[in-house]
Amino acid sequence: MALSLVFPNRDELGKAKQLLNRLCYEYHEVNSLAHLDEAAVPFLVVRENGSEAVHTLLQAKVALSGRVEYRPPLEDVDQGLPCPPEGQEDIVGRVVVMSLTPCAADPEKIRLIAHISGDLSKVMPYLNAVRRGSYNPNANTFSYIDAGRMISLFQSKIAAAKAHEVLDGYATLWRIKCWINAVWARRESIELSYESRKAINVLEIFKRLPGTNCRKCGELTCMAFAALTLQGKHGIAECRPVFENGEYPQLLPPLQQIADGYGL
Ligand code: SF4
């Protein structure tokens, strides 16, 4: 099985390449996103004997952030722009990917954990004011959904689950960093919110849908549509009777509110 191997920094990447070259493993190097500072360490794809190569690297005490089955990147991986713009404070700071594993609930997707040099506890009440999510001021955690990916922010850590592959995971981290910095830059115009909210669940989406199981979204039931929307397979706007046909005008505002607030 071909594996993507991710490293926390360029030193460990260099050690891994030296060892793999010496032992004649075939691999290729994939450049990460240009703007993702420390997290932009290139990763290696070992096409054959990936598990054996990992074992060899670990025995030689090369630090690996993680390994997942290789999948080619989606064509539309967003390469991002420099962030924050020059002169603007970087509240997130350095982003270093420390863990990469398949998602427990969906092994086709991956989960990344990145350590950051900044302190996100200061920005969380602002994030909570502008985006629906689950905020716990006592534990300093804020979770939300970004285009079907589950994001959890901690004081000095970011976890992103349900990314499609490694580059998509990096692009997700980059998008998170840019969004946090953009909110921080306009904090003076935002009213702080310490309100603690629960994350949205399937039932909350389902009870706002028409409930007719008409299948126009491609799913057999509204419940299946709600569950798969939460997993990122659909956008809420794919419920055509509400969003295209105007058959349920009373359902449009509550569904739109969820779509905007939770990024679904
Ligand atoms: S299109 Fe809307 S109403 Fe029809 S099954 Fe899908 S979610 Fe239910």
What is residue 46's predicted lDDT score, i.e. its pLDDT? 92
Q: Give CA–CA dist 173/65, Å, rounded.
A: 15
Pocket lining: 222 vs ligand 1, CB cutoff 6 Å: yes
Q: What is the pTM of this model?
A: 0.72
What is residue 1's predicted lDDT score, i.e. its pLDDT? 79
pLDDT of 38 higher than 60: no
What is residue 120's predicted lDDT score, i.e. its pLDDT? 97
The most confident of 6-10, 17-21, 175-179, by mean pLDDT:
17-21
Mean pLDDT of 201-215: 93
Q: Whose CA is nearest to atom 4 of ligand 1?
A: 214
Residue-range domain boundaries for the chain: 3-189, 202-262
Q: Which atom of ligand 1 is nearest to the CA of 226?
A: 7
pLDDT of 78 higher than 70: no
Single-letter residue type at 220: L
For 202-262, CATH number out of 4.10.520.10, 1.20.1440.230, 1.10.15.40, 1.10.540.10 equals: 1.10.15.40
Q: For residue 222, how far is its CA from the centre of ligand 1 (angstroms)?
A: 5
pLDDT of 81 higher than 70: no
Q: Give CA–CA dist 205/254, Å, rounded.
A: 9
- Which token pair is 163? 């990314």
Q: Which atom of ligand 1 is nearest to the CA of 242?
A: 2
Strands (E), the chain: 3-6, 27-30, 43-46, 66-69, 95-102, 110-116, 134-136, 141-146, 149-154, 157-163
